[in-house]
Amino acid sequence: MSQPNSAQGVCSSRLTSQDYAENFSDLHPPLDAHEALVAADRCYFCHDAPCITACPTDIDIPLFIRQIATGTPESAARTILSQNILGGMCARVCPTETLCEEACVREAAEGQPVDIGRLQRFATDTIMRSASHPFQRAAETGKTVAVIGAGPAGLSCAHRLAMHGHNVKIFDARPKAGGLNEFGIAAYKSTDDFAAKEVEWLLAIGGIDIETGKALGRDMSLSDLIDTYDAVFLGMGLAGVNALGLAGEEKDEVRDAVSFIADLRQSSDLSTLPVGRHVVVIGGGMTAVDAAVQSKLLGAQNVHLVYRRGRARMNASKYEQDLAASRGVNIITNAEPIAVHGNGAVREVEFSYTVEGPNGLERTEDTFRLPADQVLKAIGQTLEDTPDLVKTDGRKIEVGENGRTSHPAIWAGGDCASGGDDLTVTAVAEGRNAAEDIHRTLMG
């Protein structure tokens, strides 16, 4: 039951403990053994499978589904993990509806694809419950590699390097490893502390040491790392948050959605998290959707997600947009914020309607205001300074094939590098590919 003052402003404990448990339960419950066999039986096991092409990590999807169908989920997991060592998390958070499942022949023929994501989760969960790690290290090479960032790209790179016998030291600015998987995705997509468990499982291969609370530029420099290690991989993501650049943006309860989600993910008691009665989320990507949906699940009465362009231009997939709408989030498109109003704390956000004109996006003279006691900004992130490396548009590190940067001893991948699409699965692929290139380079 809500506290007496929960109808006003930003406060905590708007819901009952049962409400919190139900709202933040697993979005896609796992398949049991029988359900997995039934789901696997729908696969055509295509020889030239379009789902493989659609997977950024090139997992042999028909093979691992056939292995599930024949009762060997551990073998299916090895097929998955040999390409994507974070296959467990990707099965939970990957937008399969716009990747492998959208390309599925069953989707084209019947409008109902094979449940690839949940089958992948079934296989990887099975092997993670086993006692042994499925991969072994090669003989030690004597080479050392520094990895900056313990997120998907950094962990993928580190694991593959360790498999090849190199010794890896991971540095991460956060107090815990996991990066986006630990701090940046909706809690209902990864329950039961899975991100931390996956990191612990990955490290079981050996040869990887993680030091948290260490940030590039603050606690170490690139030149120091180059002098100390044989190679360096940068996978630290995008730590900076873009500002709205509006009058009134400094008012109380105007905050970035990234830190809002991180606080939620690290909370041991959701009833202690304050949320507004009227929440406005500004942005159109996955972070915006995750922040909006979770605000509603925390007990916000009204949640508006406002994006400056049309729905088709939103980075969040149609599935995620529909999920937000089904949870009661009101999505407003073609509107851009122009001012934040309030006396000390935010009370309203003023918007101008937009149109696509000959000079790009243009504001109109039509404006409106939304009541807001909490505003969450989700308009993109920026790269913190990395001197001596070429940048793309000043935002990301310019990389070539296999993540090579302008420095011969430095590679980069994930959100901080150019060319990706800011997906966990893409970051894993880029970390893996960079590791293979680093290995070839170090071994001559």
pLDDT at 391: 79
Q: Which of 187, 160, 141, 127 is nearest to 57 (CA)?
A: 160
Q: pTM of this prediction?
A: 0.94
Residue 6 — very low, low, confident or very high, per pLDDT cuts 50/70/90?
very low
Q: Which of 438, 442, 380, 444 is nearest to 235 (CA)?
A: 438
The half-sphere exposure of 45 on its side-chain side, counting CA atoms within 13 A, is: 10
Position 185 pLDDT exceeds 80: yes
Mean pLDDT of the chain: 94
Residue with more model confidence, 297 or 380: 297
Residue 72 — very low, low, confident or very high, per pLDDT cuts 50/70/90?
very high
pLDDT at 9: 86
| CA dist., res. 412 & res. 389, Å (int) | 10
User: With contact defined as beta carbons under 8 Å apart, do 275 and 396 qualify?
Assistant: no
Residue 440 — very low, low, confident or very high, per pLDDT cuts 50/70/90?
very high
What pLDDT, in 10s, does the model give residues 396-432?
899 999 999 999 999 999 999 987 777 999 999 999 9
pLDDT at 2: 40
Q: Looking at residues 21-29, what average pLDDT do you find?
A: 94
pLDDT at 61: 98
Q: Which of 215, 181, 184 is nearest to 201 (CA)?
A: 181
| CA dist., res. 263 & res. 288, Å (int) | 15
Burial class of residue 223, CB neighbours in 10 A (0-12, 13-18, 19+): exposed
Lowest mean pLDDT among 6-15, 230-239, 249-258: 6-15
- For the chain, percent of residues with pLDDT exceeding 90: 88
Name the residue type at position 84.
N
Place of tokens 């309607």: 353
Name the residue type at position 184.
G
| CA dist., res. 431 & res. 294, Å (int) | 30
pLDDT at 388: 73
User: With contact defined as beta carbons under 8 Å apart, do 385 and 207 qualify?
Assistant: no
Q: What angle do CA 268, 260, 349 make, to 5 degrees?
A: 145
pLDDT at 4: 37
Q: What domains, with CATH codes, occur in the chain?
A: 33-128 (1.10.1060.10), 144-239+384-442 (3.50.50.60), 241-377 (3.50.50.60)
User: With contact defined as beta carbons under 8 Å apart, do 372 and 280 qualify?
Assistant: yes
Position 227 pLDDT exceeds 50: yes
3-state SS, one letter per residue, for 392-437: ECCCEECCCHHHECCCCCEEECHHHECCCCCCHHHHHHHHHHHHHH
